Structure 1
Amino acid sequence: METRPLQSVGLGGDGDEIEAIHGVEETFGVKLDRSEASSWRTAGDVFAALQNTLPPAEQQNPALWMRFAVAICGITGADPRRIEPASPLLSEDSAWQKLRSIPSAAWIASLAALMILVAAALIRG
């Protein structure tokens, strides 16, 4: 049986995650406890924070997950039907993700080359 890859929520890590969380809060009329927000990596992490704000009866609502998925995907265009608790919040395609994967040696070499160019320009004039 072939397993399909998880679809990320599609956030870019450039501030859109704040807007997505705000969308969840507006949809459910709650304020999430953001004290653990720095450790939220998956849709399930945010969903757990949402569940903690809801009355017990609403936490068990079978439609809760889909309502949440629609809310958190509202700004990204990701398909909420493909979002699962393990789905990453950040898109693997985002520029920030790609920049983080560049080895530090490449950053150092790029910075050194830039410094040489600036120094040469200053010497010339």
Structure 2
Amino acid sequence: MRALHTIGLAGDGDEVEALQDAEERLGIALNYEDAQHWITVGDVYDSVIRAHPSLNTQHGWQDLCSALCEAVGSDPRRVTRDTILIQDTNIWKQFSDLFGRMIRKNTNGSNL
């Protein structure tokens, strides 16, 4: 089976759905401050296992891949650590900035 070059996220909001699916499936909250460094599925997985070492398993990897692929219909069995999430890597910097502002607003009650 040939590996996927990209999951196929388009940066049109499907990445938000995919990450929310991953959080729900894994039972975790992702650290979105890391998002600016998320280029590949392996980058997201590294962020997940830094915060939740118990998910450093084959089952944890498969659940992450399945959740990320569900939004776009990609085959999670073809995902590798090098599979690109979205071609426009700048979108992750914007995503990280947005969620960072939301997190700070929720934790200190002020608008940024």
Alpha-carbon distance, 1:44 to partner: 0.7
CA distance in 2, matches of 1:67, 1:24: 7
Q: Tell me the residue number matched to 1:65.
A: 61
Instruction: Answer yes or no: is the 8 Å Cα contact 2:55–2:61 preserved in 1.
Output: no
After TM superposition, the structure 1 = structure 2 runs for residues 43-82 of structure 1, keeping only pairs within 5 Å, are 43-54=41-52, 56=53, 58-82=54-78
Alpha-carbon distance, 1:4 to partner: 4.2
TM-score when normalising by structure 1: 0.62
Q: Tell me the residue number matched to 1:107.
A: none
Identical pairs, percent: 35
Deviation string, structure 1 residues 92-125 (Cα, Å, up to 9, x no partner): xxxx79xxxxxxxxxxxxxxxxxxxxxxxxxxxx
CA distance in 2, matches of 1:77, 1:44: 19
Instruction: Answer yes or no: is the 8 Å Cα contact 1:31–1:53 preserved in 2.
Output: no
Aligned residues: 89
Between structure 1 and structure 2, the one with the greater Rg is 1
> What is the DSSP-based 3-state SS (H/G/I as helix, E as strand, rest coil) of the residue aligned with 1:76?
coil
> What is the DSSP-based 3-state SS (H/G/I as helix, E as strand, rest coil) of the residue aligned with 1:10?
strand
After TM superposition, the structure 1 = structure 2 runs for residues 16-55 of structure 1, keeping only pairs within 5 Å, are 16-54=14-52
Alpha-carbon distance, 1:61 to partner: 2.3
* Structure 1 outlier segments of 4+, above 3 Å: 3-7
Q: Select which of 85, 92, 95 maps to 1:89.
A: 85
> What is the DSSP-based 3-state SS (H/G/I as helix, E as strand, rest coil) of the residue aligned with 1:9?
strand
Segments of structure 1 that go 5 or more residues without pairing to the other structure are: 98-125
Segments of structure 2 that go 5 or more residues without pairing to the other structure are: 90-112
| Higher relative strand content | 2
> What is the DSSP-based 3-state SS (H/G/I as helix, E as strand, rest coil) of the residue aligned with 2:85?
coil
TM-score when normalising by structure 2: 0.69
